[in-house]
Amino acid sequence: MKALVKAAKGPGLELTEVPEPVAGPGDVLVRVLRTGICGTDLHIQSWDEWAANTIKPPLVIGHEFAGEVVEVGAAVTKVKPGDLVSGEGHLICGTCRNCKAGRRHLCANTVGLGVHTAGAFAEYAVLPEQNAWVHTHEVDLDVAAIFDPFGNAVHTALSFPVLGEDVLITGAGPIGLMAAAVAKHAGARHVVITDVSEPRLELAGKIGADLALNVATTRISDVYGQLRMSEGFDVGMEMSGQPSALRDMIANMTHGGRIAMLGLPAQEIPIDWSHVVLKMLTIKGIYGREMFETWYAMSVLLQAGLDISPVITHRFHYTEHEAAFATARDGRCGKVLLDWTEA
């Protein structure tokens, strides 16, 4: 089968033939239909320091996908051939303290699909039955392909109650944009999203943000009067991993404010901890999705009318992967998809 592979140490990816994976007793074999390009995939392609310390070539990459189940293992009990599924890319051990307590997203032994084991940028992929989310209601195939990052957005956006609250989101990448849509759908009074990319700030308006702010030219505090705010934001969602963004967020939170932090910093972030203490702020780290409560919430939100499709801005056939990765890396886009059906 064709697959997109990190064939050797160093920059680049190779579209090549690899053996078709075989489903074990508890696994399902999925014919991949759509995949989404993630920041993780860009790190692997460029072979930065994180990738060099994490990835062991040769490896089929990719973890955002949707496809049709074509075969199931002998021990599989619920998923069946013909099911449309999205893949949960965090493979857990099932035996650690958190797994046994039902807190699977906190598994200390998590293995990443397309990072530590063969991924989904291929014509076929294998994953454990419990990691195959079956879509029991009609869902757009492109949207199904981005359930993984959509889950990150939902997990972050719903970590704290947002009904009637003023919400600040720093970072208008695809996950930040989807988090804005979720927060507004969930009843936030004002949703303000910040970035320095004008194309992404334009997308924010299409997906439901009340105000998209270019922090290269405007301070966050300058919009208080426009929004009739007096004490800062109630809920913050840090999506960028940028030191200045976290510092700006802390400075603009109300007393007792709550911050959900998904953006992964590439370096240590010095902050004024006296602001955190004296304002009595709560900062919560977010990694991935709560398995599988977040997945349930995602499906229900879509059934209730939430539309995240505007975040998908570019679609390429998998044979055009170089152009697709260049587009995703450029940053003037939303979500970039690869189509794995025949051209």
Residue of 5, 7, 11 whose CA lies nearest to 47: 11
> Whole-angstrom distance between the N-terminal and C-terminal Cα of the chain?
15
Return binding residues: 38, 63-64, 93, 96, 99, 107, 175, 195, 200, 262-264, 286-287
- Do 123 and 31 meet the contact criterion of CB atoms below 8 Å apart? yes
Q: Is 311 helix (H, G, I), strand (E, B) or coil?
A: helix
Which position among 35, 40, 110, 254 bears the catalytic label?
40
Per-residue DSSP letters for 122-162? Answer: BSEEEEEGGGEEE--S---HHHHHTHHHHHHHHHHHTSS--
User: Which residue shows structure tokens 């505090």?
Assistant: 221
Q: Is 40 a catalytic residue?
A: yes
Q: Which of 35, 43, 156, 194 is catalytic?
A: 43
Q: Are strands 27-36 and 335-339 parallel, antiparallel or unpaired?
A: antiparallel
User: DSSP string of 173-240?
Assistant: SHHHHHHHHHHHHTT-SEEEEEES-HHHHHHHHHHT-SEEEETTT--GGGGHHHHT-SS-EEEEEE-S
Is there a catalytic annotation at residue 185? no
Token pair for residue 78? 């619920």
214, burial (CB in 10 Å: exposed 0-12, middle 13-18, buried 19+)? middle
Question: Read out DSSP for 65-124?
Answer: EEEEEEEE-TT--S--TT-EEEE--EE--S-SHHHHTT-GGG-TT-EEBTTTB--SSBSE
The position carrying tokens 């014919």 is: 31
Binding residues for NAD(+): 175, 195, 200, 262-264, 286-287
| Binding region for Zn(2+) | 38, 63-64, 93, 96, 99, 107
Strand partners, 29: 71, 126
Residues annotated as part of the active site: 40, 43
